[in-house]
Every structure is written in structure tokens, then in C-alpha cells.
Amino acid sequence: MMNTDVDEELNAQTVDVITINFSLTKDGAIISANKEFCQMLRREVGSITDTSILEVVHEQDRTLFMQRITESYEGGVIPFTFRLIRIKGDSLPFYVNLCRWVSLDEVCVQAIPIADPSGYTAVEQLLVEKKITVLDLTDNAAINCNFDGTVVAVNNAYDKLFGWNNKELKGNKSPFVPDHLMHEFIEIKNRLLGGEKVIRMNTARMTRNGIMIPVNFSILPDYDNKGRVQGVIALSKNLEETLEMKAFIEKQMEYILQQEILIKDITNNVEVGICQYDVEKKKLLYINRRMEGLLGVPIYDLMRDSTLLVSTCHSDDKTELIRFYDESARELKIIEYRVVGKDGEVCWIRTKLTPIINEAGKVIRFVSLSQDISKQKLQDELLRKWDKLNTVGQLAASFAHQIRNPLTSIKGFIQLVATEQENLYGPIMQEELHKIESTIEDFLQLAKPSIGMEFTTTSIHTQINRVVSLMEKEAMLQNIIFKIKLYDKDQFIYCEPKQIQQVLINLLKNSIEAMPGGGELRISTMIEGNQMVKILVVDTGIGIPPERLSKLGEPFYSHKEKGTGLGLMVSYRIIENHQGSIRFTSKEGYGTTVEIRLPLSVSN
């Protein structure tokens, strides 16, 4: 920064300074000039256009003038001084602080008159040493930034007006353009690239403390070393007290009010509940009418007490919902929970929570979007029941075969009993009747409808063994051998047992159907990090083509002739509802591996 003596010197020189601007060809012919340049020469612009600049430059300065112009063409602009000759023969000293090439044969020059010729060398030296820039030579708040919004520099007046200093902003994105006025920046860029030299406009900008203030802008193009427009130099004045800006403010406020009304019209008429929550103040900033309908709690009560967001939640889901809102996660979170209405009716809600993060990386607010998914839940349940009914129907033939065999034995033995005096066949008949009873019990357990989601802690080994016993007779008919290898220690999962059985039956049926010529079906379990149990179902069947693997689980997609694809889709959804995952890998001609991962019970 400059010392006090130099500050005083510069201030003395630049009081009421008039800047002259003119453009030249590479040979020094004048192309255009501003009115201040003409006034200095006391000549009309028409009389100097196409004449040589050397005609009005002092003869002792002409060599240096053209040398500096040529050097600026190659880049590395060095400010320099020269004297301008007027009609009466007197001369005025100037120093050039801007020399930019806008094309291969046009350079724009900006110069400031020096009031005291004996003092200009100190200022020139500061410019050469780059201790000051053109931003330091104006009393206006000035900012230099690239077209992508990156700040090159700001001056002290900018800090006083807007609250940001050069050290904070340099190299960062400019924060003072409000989002709803960003279109102005794009318009300014297009106009400057289109050839405009000065753009003047009244607008509004944001101060560091978040206040919008009205400003008057004079915007100039900033050129790179090759004369191409690369950004802007904007000089701004605070016009808050002027009558003109009062009218401008009223217009801006009217625009903002219209935007607020538009946003409220949208948010209050969508089928989604919207909330915005301030993490630091621990209070709701906004809530729309739909949220009131979803929760059954008045908006004003929710705004007064944000804890009422969970007041109507089902008792079984309340703990998880409170944890969902309390944890300050940095990524999108989703939860599904039940809300109990005044009439006792249960409604399913899905809420997505999006964090808003400040520049320091801290979560400061949350925006939540909530919607009623009761119909979707009902459809999911119907799909599961449909798939279960379909499974039971397909297994009916196998069960009939399993029951027919022992019945045939019993029928034959009863006929023999009628002819024998001793009851030699009683134990055999009892054993066959036990087989029938066991098969029918398994069948009824599978077909029995479930009411809601009855989760319980159960043994994964028990579920696998039950399904295997249910399917092994059908497998034997297809010449398929089961090979079971379960983890040494039994593991327990928190699940809805019938749904897990449904998934395993679907997968085993698919594997059996994939081995029409017989084969080996391996089922194994293993533990991952004492947190997950992994179930592997591996067959030696025909395999699945790669293009079909990515579509598994989609509704109505199946490679079976009469398949609906609903079985796998329901299986995927069941596993997801149990916080698990299901993955298929396959190679044509070698078989398919299904991997199911489920979380172990906390009490395991």
C-alpha cells in the first residue's frame, strides 16, 4: 500500500480528474476519441479522426509513445507519461494507465492528466511497480472480475460500501450479485463481448451483511494481454438516497413481492409437504398448507413448536423419526413412517431431508419434502400377496404329488390290513400320515395371510431349513441335489419371517427352473463384520445373459414364457424393506449366484 505522502500527492493530482480515452491503429492513426480528449485539444472529433496521434504528442515524447504502444501489443503493459499539444501550442502532461489491444489493429488508450508535472514521476513509479492499479485511482467502489465471476481485485472503497476486502475476495467467486439479478451479469458479458465500451445501469447488489442496496454502475471491459475482453471493471455508487433510486427500489420490491407470491402459490398448491428448519435457531422458518394436512397439526402450532412434527407419529416409528430430524447429516436422507389421524386412521408418509450447507461446510438449515405414500404401500402389499398366491399356485402341483405318494402307500396298507390278522403296517402308515401332516402345515404357513408387518427376531438357519424342506421334493423330481453349508453359529435377524421365506422360495424356484437337466443347488451363509449375514444361493443352470441381468427386478420383465417378473420385483422390495440388499451375478452356461445381505439383530 502507498505511504501517507504518496496518498496526499495522488489525491492532490486526481481531484476532479477527467479521463481521456482514444483508440489508435498500430501505426498511430486515431480511430475514435471521447469528448474529454477533444476538449483537451479544443478540436472537434471529426477533425482528428484518421490523423496521426504524433501530431498532438510533444515531439520529445513521440518515440517513447510509439515504443510503449508497440510493447503493449506484445503484452506486459508499462504505464508511461507523455505531453499532449493543444492548438495554442501549450502542452498538458498525461500518464497512461490502460493500454489494451481490442483487435490486431486497434488499441484502446486511457490516460489521466497530471496537475503538477513535477510530481507525476512518483505516481508513475508506483504504477510501474504495480503498487497501485486503476482501481486505486477512483473514489468509487470498484471491482475487477472475470466473466466466470472470479474476483481479480477490489479497492478500499468497495470494502467500505459492500463490506468485503480484496484479501477475502481475490481468487473467489463474487458474492454480491443476488440470484434473481444474475441475468444482468450475463447480459453485461454479452454486451461487452459485442463491442460496447461503457455500460451504465442502475441495479441492486448484496452487501456482506445480506442487505440489498441500490447502486449506479459504470462498467468497462477488462482486456487480456492479447487485447481480448476477459472480464469487467465495474465502478459503483450508492444511490440509496436519490429520488431516482427510491423509485428503483420500489420497482425491485414489487418484483420481489411478485416472486414471493408466485413461490407461495406453487408451494401451497403442490401435493408435497414442504418445511424449512433453522438448525442453529432450532425453529421452523417455513411450512406449507399441505404439511398441515399430512400431519393433522395446524401450521401456526408447528411454527410455534417444531417438536410437533413428530407428535402424530405412530408410537413404533417415533424414536426413529426423532433421530432422523436430530442428526445433522450432510447428505440427502429419506425415511418412511406412519402418522395416526384423529379418527385413528393410519397414513404412511415418506420424508426427504436435504441439508443446506454454508461456505464453512456447516449444515445451517434443512429443507424437507413429505408426501403421502399410503396408496403405494397398499399396492406393494397387494403385489406381495399376488406373488405369494402365484407361488402357492405353482407349488400346488408339487404338494399334490408329495401328498399323493404317502396316500397311495396308506391306501395299499389299509387293503392289506383287511386281509392280515396282525397289524404289521400300522407304524408305516403313521409315518406316512406324519409326512402328509407336515407338508400340509408348511403349505398353510405359506398361504396364511399376514396382518401388516409383524417383525420379530428369528433364526436365519430356521428360515432356510424350512424353505429347503418345502422345496426338496420338487428339486428331487428335477434331479437336483441340495447342498447346504450354514455358518457354524446360528445367526438371528429382525424380520417378517413369512416375507423372508417368500424371497427364498422365489429364488430356489428360479434356480430349479434354470436347471431342466438337473444339477447342484448350493445354499450357504457367512458373516460380514458381525453386522451382516450373507446368504448365497448358487445354481449350475443355464445362466442369465448380461443384457437381462440389469433388468432383473423390473415389473413384467421375465425370461420365462409365462412369467410376470413380479416375483423378483417383490423379492427386491422385501429385502430393501429389511434394510438389506440383493445382487445377481451370472455366466451363461455355468449358472447364477444370488447374494442376499441382511443386517443382524442388535441382540444377536
Give the pLDDT confidence score for residue 76 in this predicted structure: 58
Q: Which of 233, 14, 10, 4 is nearest to 126 (CA)?
A: 10
Q: What top-level class would CATH report for the domain 268-372?
A: alpha beta
Which overall architecture, per CATH, does domain 377-599 show?
Answer: 2-Layer Sandwich (3.30)
Give the pLDDT confidence score for residue 443 in this predicted structure: 55
Domain boundaries, the chain: 4-132, 141-260, 268-372, 377-599
Q: Which residues contact 272 (CB under 8 A, 6 or more apart)?
A: 290, 369, 370, 371
Give the pLDDT confidence score for residue 100 in this predicted structure: 84
Query: How many Å apart are CA 175 and CA 168, to the nearest integer?
Result: 11
Give the pLDDT confidence score for residue 537 in this predicted structure: 93
Quick check: 321 and 350 in contact, CB under 8 A?
A: no
Angle at 603 between CA 456 and CA 311, to 5 degrees: 65
Per-10-residue mean pLDDT of the chain, 604 residues long, equals 37 54 90 87 83 89 86 71 80 82 87 58 48 68 88 88 88 79 84 84 84 84 75 82 61 70 70 84 82 83 82 85 76 85 83 84 85 80 62 57 64 62 61 63 50 76 88 84 88 88 87 88 89 92 79 49 54 83 87 91 68
User: Which cell goes with 479?
Assistant: 434331479
Query: For the residues of 284-343, what is the DSSP string, one character each?
Result: EEEE-HHHHHHHT--HHHHHH-GGGGGTTB-HHHHHHHHHHHHS--SS-EEEEEEEE-TT
Tell me the C-alpha to C-alpha distance, in Å, between residue 348 and each of 25, 339, 342: 75, 6, 15
Query: Side by side, which strands form the sheet with 581-587?
Result: 480-485, 519-528, 532-539, 591-599, 581-587
User: CA 140, 141, 146, 151: dihedral to nearest 10 degrees?
Assistant: 150
Cell 445381505, residue?
597
Give the pLDDT confidence score for residue 399 in this predicted structure: 60
DSSP SS3 for 140: coil
Query: How many Å apart are CA 225 and CA 174, to the nearest integer?
Result: 23
Angle at 469 between CA 464 and CA 475, to 5 degrees: 105
Give the pLDDT confidence score for residue 534 in this predicted structure: 93
Q: pLDDT tens for residues 154-168?
A: 888 888 888 888 888
Quick check: 94 and 112 in contact, CB under 8 A?
A: yes
Query: How many Å apart are CA 163 and CA 157, to the nearest integer?
Result: 9
Strands (E), 73-155: 80-85, 91-103, 106-113, 141-146, 151-154
Is the fold of 141-260 the same as that of 377-599?
A: no
Is 141-260 a domain of CATH 3.30.450.20? yes
Share of the chain above pLDDT 90, in %: 7
Q: pLDDT tens for residues 54-73?
A: 999 988 888 888 888 888 87
User: For the domain 4-132, what is the CATH code?
Assistant: 3.30.450.20
Query: How many Å apart are CA 353 and CA 335, to the nearest integer?
Result: 9
DSSP 8-state class, residue 139: S
